């Protein structure tokens, strides 16, 4: 398993949290995803043989959020 933290500056509320966690959680190979509203970050743990950073970023961007890094 690989873990990473993405910075998503537009996260502001519980709706952001649920939509991002839902979209990333639907991807295969995701072990855990947690949005931290106050820090505006997304912690993701995933199987890097199945899914990668680009697909995770795309899922977040698909919900209308830009990923800072």
Which residues lie near Cu ion (CB under 5 A)? 12-13, 15-16
Closest CA to 3 of 47, 50, 39: 47
Residue 48 C-beta: closest distance to Cu ion, Å = 29
Nearest distance from residue 57's CB to Cu ion, in Å?
18
Min. distance of Cβ 23 from Cu ion in angstroms?
Answer: 13
Please, which residue, 22 or 48, has the CB nearer to Cu ion?
Answer: 22
**How far does Cα 52 stand from its chain's mean position?**
11
Q: Which helix (H) or strand (E) holds 34?
A: strand 30-36
């Amino acid at each position: 398993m690989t873990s990473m933290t993405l910075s998503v500056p537009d996260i502001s509320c519980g709706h952001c949290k649920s939509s991002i966690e839902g979209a990333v959680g639907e991807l295969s190979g995701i072990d855990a995803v947690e949005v931290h509203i106050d820090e505006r970050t997304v912690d993701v743990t995933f199987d890097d043989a199945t899914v990668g950073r680009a697909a995770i970023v795309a899922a977040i961007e698909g919900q209308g959020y830009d990923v800072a890094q």
